[in-house]
A and B are shown apart, each in its own frame.
Chain A
């Protein structure tokens, strides 16, 4: 059955006439021209933002596209005109603590959902899927009320980042889903071998599974780092009015209200916020693409 089409393909390939070959070449050229065009359009915003970030304030408001002179000092000014360091530290606090929480809390849940037999497993998995699809706006009002009314020993949660960090330590639906999909692909024999050797489930999880599922765990960590780094809605609700409690995304959106119409500085700040994400991407490109593919194909 399989031999027939491939044999036919060999025959067909031998008899490609010149006209067909020319048409194929033409198609390939057309294909590549469109790709190059779209690629230029996709890179243009980065280029335009960078160029503006290097202009003087008045140049940024003129129709000029090329900075003259190049004002590298803009990147320093960003740190001195607004509390940019403070925002970076706050963002890192949210991203690092949040990502740690997501990984630590989601791995065991995903393992249980993928590998252990117990009553209600299917129902639990369905609930994870539902939680995944639910817009955050649906639960946001009661949660805000909860954090507003909850002040142990007089500690106010509103105005801090804890209401956005803490929930990450109790499992994240997307990460649980992605990890479960990956855990399902681990051959049962490995786990059985560990069980025969006398490993408990906890031991199996912390040694065998985490080692075999490293790409998926790395992907989950990357995604949740990105998600928390980019998050705007939840910090907007909880971080409050004081600029020194803001994260980068909020600071950036309010940048112009703090400093009038300085587009050059705004674009410099924009670039600085984009930079870490892009650097991480180039450092971990393979893990990224594998992770994205994992979300789609195995779904």
Chain B
């Protein structure tokens, strides 16, 4: 089947939905999360991302290291966890050098960087949600996140939102 045949094909009738659970705050895994999210949103999927634990780093207002959180321990933890810009890679991090190398290689090879993917996700109106329980542990509030985060959810609401679509844990 050629591209023209595909282009002139019938419209699909079934609703398309993709829900992602972003657990890891690792640079490479966040790239995977946002690549899937933006790609799916661009081809007409309804996309939900549920950020929990380390994944919450990706949606913090402060992109670098900052004392975010309520109380001494959460603040200290928040500092070491950092934000989107300080996310480490899951292997061979080399004290934070690898994410810089990755960003350089992505720009050099004209591949969207993590920051560009996040911006695209905002423009494509990907639904972003924060996990209520993880926020309590880390002393975070909704105001600590970017304003595109639509809400704070628990498991039951997330299951309700993701019903009828595919769910991926990253």
A and B: bona fide binding partners: no
